[in-house]
Structure 1
Amino acid sequence: MKKKLAAATGTALAVCASLLLAVAPQAQAADTPGFHIGAGRLLDANGNDFVMRGVNHAHAWYPDRTDQALSDIKALGANSVRVVLATGDQWTRNDTADVAHVVAECKENRLVCVLEAHDTTGYGEAGAAVPLSRAVDYWLGVKDALVGQEKYVIVNIGNEPYGNSNYSAWTADTKTAIGRMRAAGIDHTLMVDAPNWGQDWSFTMRDNAAGVMAADPDRNTLFDIHMYGVYDTPAEVDDYLGRFVSAGLPVVVGEFGDMHSDGNPDEDAIMATAESRGIGYLGWSWSGNGSGVEYLDLAQNFDRGRLTAWGQRLFNGTNGIKATAEEAGVYADPGNEDTTAPTAPGTPTATGVTADSVRLTWPAATDNTGVSGYDVVRVEGGQETPAASTTTTTATVTGLAADTTYTFAVYARDAAGNRSPRSATVTATTEDNVVGACAVEYRLSDWGSSFNADVTIRNRSDKAIDGWELSFGFPGAQRINSVWNARATQQGSTVRATHEAWTRTIPAGGSVSFGLNGSSSGGNGTPTAFTLNGQTCGS
């Protein structure tokens, strides 16, 4: 595995298959003096939605550049900045006075300040890295610079707190760190980074996030994923972020780039998905990268007039900072603040119901300054769980259970973060997707270092299957190069193939086929176990 360089970002290889998230707890602290989490969203002190659009700045290594950097970052349209601090374990400690100065400069430039302790980077794999417990010691040591700044500051406990070794300890360590912070009276929104150099290819953070949130007595934790080479396709980006949204858990892309040594991250998909789902992002990093990752600089030599291609993309491109950032409500001019909420959207209708999804459409809401987006919620037992976010009047809710009745409603929001009353509800029952009576035929054409395979899925039930996902594992060191009549992703040896539009339906008693081409360094065996839509299928 490649290791993270000092001023760079995390790296990892995606090797684990997906698991489902648990649904997040709904409770939250009654007293929320600053940023807080509500219904799976990051809210400011006024209860308004806040979506981060900003960058990272390496203050720990370039403290003399920070004042000008924050001014320049704001001038380019950002509403937030993630600031690298050092605990003194790997790099020179940023003391209480220095942290207070950084916070003051963030406020002067009307930026939300995300403070992160960097010395935990790659713990368990990087020799000099320290555990989260040391980061907590640091925050308690600079507590005087934090208390009272809950409206302006988010505390990111430790950067990428595990590498690719012993990362299973992340859950317990994160719960303990949060507990110590709360016991010490730190009431800020706490941001926690994923393990695996921040990329969570093992899905450790994803699959334990609900438990971590439940362990926070304030229910005020924000989850931070770093997207580099592991996230090189739109499907991988949307699947990871979408599972948090569906589970009602708040997530932010705290680091990402347009290229990296471990692969080519899909920055277009990251930015587009974050915008469509109302999720924050923070690009890495303003300037000063070294050790071979200088390509991650957004500005050449800290000069805002000399943006790199990556900087131009992040600040000025489609779904970029300039086009999508909204200043935090805590900095709004009280005399000009928009406090008028949109009207409630019209009653939604449900169409396109499948075994695991439903398409919702509703009449538009109105607002004095214009509606900026809509949030779909699932309603059950008086509780609401976020289901989807969109800028249009239609959304497809995915990840549903078959043969289950759901109730949905919609909220509208405006650019100031005001939220409308809830729409009337609509009820939909997903289809009963029977796939137990099925078989898979895998026909291999083996050429040693390469191979083709024709895969046929046979539906032996008396009901059509509308939409499918076939999962199987390669028995050797095989990699997919191309696929036809389906889409496929591979993580380690596990392959997940899903339908194209023209192969979506498998008729009762019928079949569909797709093919793939791959390469191998150790021979080409035939998979022996297949699951179709999560259920075992014969061969």
Structure 2
Amino acid sequence: MKKRLATAAGALLAVAASVLAAPSAAQAKETAAAGFHVSDGRLLDANGNNFVMRGVNHAHTWYTSRTPQALKDIKALGANSVRVVLSSGHRWTRNDTADVAAVVSQCKANRLVCVLEAHDTTGYGEQSGAATLAQAVDYWLSVQDAVKGQEKYVVVNIGNEPYGNTGHSAWTSDTKNAIARLRNAGFDHTLMVDAPNWGQDWSFTMRDNAEQVFATDPDRNTVFSIHMYGVFDTSAEVSDYLNRFVSKKLPIVVGEFGNDHSDGNPDEDAIMATTQRLGLGYLGWSWSGNGGGVEYLDMATGFDASQLTPWGRRMFDGANGIKQTSREASVFSGGGQTPTIGSCAVSYRVNGWGGGFNADVTVRNTGTAAVQGWQLDFAFGGEQTVKSAWNAKVTQSGKQVRATPEPWTGTIPAGGSVSFGFNASSTGGDTVPASFTLNGTTCAKS
């Protein structure tokens, strides 16, 4: 097991010197209507549509004057979300209610989902002056007016990397207490919780206790965040960690990662490919302004979007990067609930070989109105794993598979069809799925 020291979020500091009862159906409906919410291990927006974060981190608390332009640039490059660094005042100048409200307003104006994080908890127990999670909760309570009513647009990341490599066993109880206090105070937002060990969870404290932490949240609306740096320097480590959450239907995002780091060389290609395959969110570190020896993690030189660094070009333009995979939250695009249709038919043809197959899928709209935007859901009957896809984005969680369109396959005309395909490995046969649903409507098989 690798044991590392501080992550990029910690290095950036140098620039500034008991399970509750499940919610009732009515409560779940109310939570869903309020804003982002977790369902079956997935993060859904207020319209009930799947939302996969594709964004970057921005160090607002040290560069407040840069934020308006930075958010515009980040959006223009294709991001659908931004993780914003705030200070509770324990280590740096406090971002007050008015400032937080301004950040939220700027995120919304740029149609970016705003993940707000309190940074002063970084490396608690090891980093001198770091705040506790309880102190982070005090901060959120003090700025609650800035985020109240913004549940459709804001995710509250309680505390950045809340423990170093000392005392991390307290993460579970302290995280439970933090969630309980925020819920009791009326926070209905999706809450995000970072892992200990400078965010990298080499001790597996978050991984092994995530189920009980999630169950403690009365809203069942907590997302876990892993920071992937030197600990995650192989594809196997990336895949194993993320799949353990997916298999338990626990929501997870990669809240920070880089292309290099002083504690080892993370496998950014594996991180981006694996999150795309599993339909999980990622937020790269960071837009600009890094110091403390990790200046190479800047995506834009001097906050200039026209001067992307190699890391910035990889993040935005590379395989499984933001431009290729990001989809705007439907609360901004006006998508509402995924449109229903009158009737549909699906053709599913398999070309198999030992250990794998290609599937060619045709979705026909047999109704009388065009479908703008679609979502096809089905389940594998055996042990199949999607490897790649074309003309659609195909994600998998357990046996459940979901296909959504590429920009050029987004409309199915009345009486028309769209086709896509995917490649998968198989150890349990290549049988045709038992049923297909298109935007919630069961389709005939043809």
Give the TM-score band, short-chain normalised: 0.7 to 0.9
What do residues 88-121 of structure 1 show as CA deviations (whole Å, max 9, x unaligned)? 0011100000000000000000000000000000
Partner of residue 339, structure 1? 339
Over 3 Å counting, the alpha-carbon distance change for 1:194 and 1:365 in structure 2 is farther
In structure 2, give the amino acid aligned to 1:148: G
What do residues 196-228 of structure 1 show as CA deviations (whole Å, max 9, x unaligned)? 111111111111111111000000001101111
Shift of 1:125: 1.3
Q: What is the CA–CA distance in structure 2 between the aligned matches of 1:359 and 1:420, rounded to whole Å?
A: 27
In structure 1, give the amino acid aligned to 2:203: S
Q: What is the CA–CA distance in structure 2 between the aligned matches of 1:353 and 1:71, rounded to whole Å?
A: 49
Same amino acid, percent of matched pairs: 60
Over 3 Å counting, the alpha-carbon distance change for 1:183 and 1:318 in structure 2 is same
Partner of residue 471, structure 1? none
- Asked if structure 1 preserves the Cα contact closer than 8 Å seen for 2:155 and 2:189, the reply is yes
Give yes or no for the alignment of 1:185 onto 2:186.
yes
Give 1 or 2: higher helix fraction: 2
Give yes or no for the alignment of 1:171 onto 2:147.
no
Structure 1 residues 295-334: aligned runs within 5 Å: 295-333=296-334
Over 3 Å counting, the alpha-carbon distance change for 1:296 and 1:217 in structure 2 is same
* Stretch deviating more after TM superposition (363-372 or 269-278): 363-372
- Asked if structure 1 preserves the Cα contact closer than 8 Å seen for 2:117 and 2:158, the reply is yes
Q: What is the CA–CA distance in structure 2 between the aligned matches of 1:363 and 1:75, rounded to whole Å?
A: 33
- Asked if structure 2 preserves the Cα contact closer than 8 Å seen for 1:123 and 1:129, the reply is yes
Structure 1 residues 22-37: aligned runs within 5 Å: 29-31=28-30, 32=32, 33-37=34-38
- Asked if structure 1 preserves the Cα contact closer than 8 Å seen for 2:132 and 2:162, the reply is yes
Shift of 1:412: 6.3
Q: What is the CA–CA distance in structure 2 between the aligned matches of 1:95 and 1:344, rounded to whole Å?
A: 54
SS of alignment partner, residue 226 of structure 2: strand
Partner of residue 251, structure 1? 252
Over 3 Å counting, the alpha-carbon distance change for 1:68 and 1:236 in structure 2 is same
- Asked if structure 2 preserves the Cα contact closer than 8 Å seen for 1:371 and 1:412, the reply is no
Partner of residue 72, structure 1? 73
- Asked if structure 1 preserves the Cα contact closer than 8 Å seen for 2:58 and 2:82, the reply is yes
Q: What is the CA–CA distance in structure 1 between the aligned matches of 2:437 and 2:269, rounded to whole Å?
A: 26
Partner of residue 155, structure 2? 154
- Asked if structure 2 preserves the Cα contact closer than 8 Å seen for 1:375 and 1:389, the reply is yes
Count of residues in correspondence between the two structures:
391
Q: What is the CA–CA distance in structure 1 between the aligned matches of 2:262 and 2:170, rounded to whole Å?
A: 26
Give yes or no for the alignment of 1:40 onto 2:41.
yes
In structure 2, give the amino acid aligned to 1:136: V
Q: What is the CA–CA distance in structure 2 between the aligned matches of 1:259 and 1:182, rounded to whole Å?
A: 37
What do residues 258-286 of structure 1 show as CA deviations (whole Å, max 9, x unaligned)? 00011111111111111111101100000
Shift of 1:420: 3.6
Partner of residue 418, structure 2? none
What do residues 335-382 of structure 1 show as CA deviations (whole Å, max 9, x unaligned)? x99624695867999x9999xxx999795545745767756489xxxx
What do residues 440-471 of structure 1 show as CA deviations (whole Å, max 9, x unaligned)? xxxxxxxxxxxxxxxxxxxxxxxxxxxxxxxx
Over 3 Å counting, the alpha-carbon distance change for 1:106 and 1:181 in structure 2 is same
Partner of residue 237, structure 1? 238
Over 3 Å counting, the alpha-carbon distance change for 1:423 and 1:3 in structure 2 is same
Shift of 1:168: 1.0
Shift of 1:239: 1.1
SS of alignment partner, residue 30 of structure 1: helix
Q: What is the CA–CA distance in structure 1 between the aligned matches of 2:61 and 2:378, rounded to whole Å?
A: 38
SS of alignment partner, residue 225 of structure 1: strand
SS of alignment partner, residue 176 of structure 1: helix
Shift of 1:71: 0.6
Over 3 Å counting, the alpha-carbon distance change for 1:238 and 1:183 in structure 2 is same
SS of alignment partner, residue 324 of structure 2: helix
Q: What is the CA–CA distance in structure 2 between the aligned matches of 1:188 and 1:360, rounded to whole Å?
A: 41
SS of alignment partner, residue 60 of structure 2: coil
- Asked if structure 1 preserves the Cα contact closer than 8 Å seen for 2:228 and 2:258, the reply is yes
Partner of residue 87, structure 2? 86
Give yes or no for the alignment of 1:103 onto 2:104.
yes
In structure 1, give the amino acid aligned to 2:184: A
Q: What is the CA–CA distance in structure 2 between the aligned matches of 1:225 and 1:43, rounded to whole Å?
A: 19
| Structure 2 unpaired stretches of 5+ | 14-21, 366-370, 382-396, 404-420
- Asked if structure 1 preserves the Cα contact closer than 8 Å seen for 2:137 and 2:181, the reply is yes
Q: What is the CA–CA distance in structure 1 between the aligned matches of 2:425 and 2:377, rounded to whole Å?
A: 12
Structure 1 residues 59-458: aligned runs within 5 Å: 59-333=60-334, 339-340=339-340, 365-366=363-364, 368=371, 376=379, 386-387=398-399, 389=401, 419-421=439-441
Over 3 Å counting, the alpha-carbon distance change for 1:214 and 1:317 in structure 2 is same
In structure 2, give the amino acid aligned to 1:332: S
Over 3 Å counting, the alpha-carbon distance change for 1:360 and 1:204 in structure 2 is farther
- Asked if structure 1 preserves the Cα contact closer than 8 Å seen for 2:8 and 2:285, the reply is no
Give yes or no for the alignment of 1:2 onto 2:5.
yes
Shift of 1:134: 0.4
Shift of 1:8: 3.7
- Asked if structure 2 preserves the Cα contact closer than 8 Å seen for 1:80 and 1:112, the reply is yes
Q: TM-score, normalised by structure 1?
A: 0.65
- Asked if structure 2 preserves the Cα contact closer than 8 Å seen for 1:34 and 1:151, the reply is yes
Instruction: State the Cα RMSD in Å.
Output: 3.5
Over 3 Å counting, the alpha-carbon distance change for 1:318 and 1:394 in structure 2 is closer
In structure 2, give the amino acid aligned to 1:108: A
SS of alignment partner, residue 191 of structure 1: strand
Shift of 1:30: 3.4
Shift of 1:316: 0.7
SS of alignment partner, residue 119 of structure 1: helix
Q: What is the CA–CA distance in structure 2 between the aligned matches of 1:395 and 1:81, rounded to whole Å?
A: 32
